[in-house]
Amino acid sequence: MAKRTRGSHRPGRRPPLRREATRSSSAAAPARPSGLSREEEARAAEIEAQIVAEERAAEQATRRSRDRGREPEHVMSRSRAAGPLSVRAADEYAYVRRDVRRIARIGGSLILLLAVLHVLINVLHVIQL
């Protein structure tokens, strides 16, 4: 039998915030830190605005690079749909042709290796087993 617990303990969920029921009047009004002058506050706001602008520029750059990567797929799919079936099949099965060549090359090299080992072991008796 599963143990029962209060509340939800699922991953990714935060416990509810516990807020104070009463707030003082001084907390309602925004207070400036006592150590900062107006110029320092203005400079801090300027720096914060600059950081936000740089973050936006970085996000736009990543979006543009992602979109650039996706464009050729759409262009290729449109050009494939416009061509005859034989052209589309040739484009589509180019990877099959490449894989068959690779399999034939590996198989041929294994047969050649077996032939060399046969000659060395059985015919010339270079390798004694």
Instruction: Identify the residue with better confidence: 64 or 76.
Output: 64
Answer whether 41's CB lies under 8 Å from 32's CB.
yes
Q: Which two tokens stand for residue 121?
A: 């072991």
Interval 29-49: pLDDT, tens:
555 556 788 999 999 999 999
Q: Please tell me whether the overall predicted TM-score, pTM, comes out greater than 0.85 for this model.
A: no
Instruction: Identify the residue with better confidence: 34 or 114.
Output: 114
Interval 82-102: pLDDT, tens:
678 888 788 788 889 999 999
pLDDT of residue 41: 93
Which residue in 71, 69, 91, 64 sits closest to 80, CA to CA? 91
| Residue at token pair 């390798």 | 127
The model's confidence at residue 17, banded by pLDDT at 50, 70 and 90, is confident
- Identify the weakest region by mean pLDDT among 7-16, 17-26, 74-83: 74-83
Q: What is the Cα gyration radius of the chain?
A: 35
CA distances from 39 to 31, 35, 42, 49, 129 (A): 16, 12, 5, 15, 90
| Residue at token pair 């599963």 | 2
